[in-house]
Amino acid sequence: MTPDEREEALERREANAALLMAKLEKDRVALEADIAASAAASKAASAITRALHSDALKKAKEVEGECAKWEAKLARLKLEASKMEAVISSNPARSEQEIEREKAALAAARIQHEADRVVLDADKAAFLRESAEARAKLKAEAQALADLRTKLVAIRGEIEGGVKLREAEVRKKEALIEAERAKLQASADALVRAEAEQSEERAKLEAQIASLAAKEVMFEERHRQLQERLKNFAKA
């Protein structure tokens, strides 16, 4: 593989690592959004549960107050009936009309008492029914919240596992990229050293060539002088 091809492969691996890091960042942001949404849902469910519990307690107190009022009214009616019976038994010489009127009043009071008891029983039944519905709703919401928390925990575990796996892959790829980069750097350093050695050898060769050229010029000059001397000698 040539240095250019290695550089291209290194760039491709760095680009893939950058894409993987971007995807990891996106998954992290999505995980944080899911966690925030689950926390908001949990808070909302808790607020709804508290509100329903408060409403149920308030309504229970109201019904208990109504029951206390009806019980007091019933006790008062019983007391009045007992007083009327005592008056009737203590005054046997009264007229038949008075006795009939008192009996009619007592019967009317008993009828009112029975009606009040029926209303009280109906209120109690309605309260018990509403309390049961509220408890069932609270139980269902608590179960739904627990299921939601379980799902969120599972999703968080899956996302964290995926993030850890991808981080391990990224670290592995980064190690490979760093090793390739070290190899490329070593190759580049070797090329630089080779170029420096070649430059040094070239300089030595050029110096030798220059020295040979100078020697050749000197030899030519001496040869010319020798030729002139031979000519002069021949003439002599």
pLDDT digits (tens, 9 = 90+) for 110-149: 788 788 778 878 887 887 888 788 788 878 877 887 887 7
The residues, any chain, with a CB within 8 Å of residue 169's CB and separated by 6 or more, are 20
Is the model's pLDDT at 236 over the cut of 70?
A: no
Mean pLDDT score, 73-85: 72
**Looking at the predicted structure, is the pLDDT value of residue 207 above 70?**
yes
Q: Give the C-alpha separation, 148 to 168, whole Å.
A: 30
Tokens linked to 205: 């060769």
Q: How many CA atoms lie within 13 A of 42 on its CB side?
A: 14
Q: What are phi and psi of 91, to 5 degrees?
A: -125, 75
Per-residue model confidence (pLDDT) at position 93: 47
Domain around 200? 3-235
Question: Residue 133 sits in a domain of what CATH number?
Answer: 1.10.287
What distance separates the 2 farthest-apart alpha carbons in the chain? 205
For residues 14 and 176, what is the distance between their CA atoms, to the nearest angstrom? Answer: 10
| Tokens (6 digits) for 38 | 């689950």
Cα 96 versus chain centre, distance: 87
d(CA 191, CA 141): 72
The count of domains in the chain is 1
Whole-model pTM above 0.85? no
Report how far residue 28's alpha carbon sits from residue 111's, in angstroms, rounded to the nearest whole number: 73
180 exposure class (CB count in 10 Å sphere: 0-12, 13-18, 19+):
middle
Mean pLDDT rounded to a whole number for the chain: 78
Among all chains, which residue has been given the structure tokens 């010319």? 224
For residue 202, pLDDT over 70 is answered with yes
CA atoms within 13 A on the CB side of 222: 6
Minimal CA–CA distance to 177: which of 4, 12, 10, 3? 10
Average of per-residue pLDDT across 218-236: 83
Higher-confidence residue: 5 or 132? 132
- Mean pLDDT of the region 175-180: 85
Across 205-219, average pLDDT? 89
Tell me what the mean pLDDT of segment 155-163 comes to. Answer: 79
DSSP helix/strand/coil, 13: helix
**What is the DSSP secondary structure assignment for residue 95, as one 8-state letter?**
-
Distance of CA 132 to the CA centre of its chain: 36
Confidence at residue 91, expressed as pLDDT on a 0 to 100 scale: 54
C-alpha–C-alpha distance, residues 171 and 169, integer Å = 5
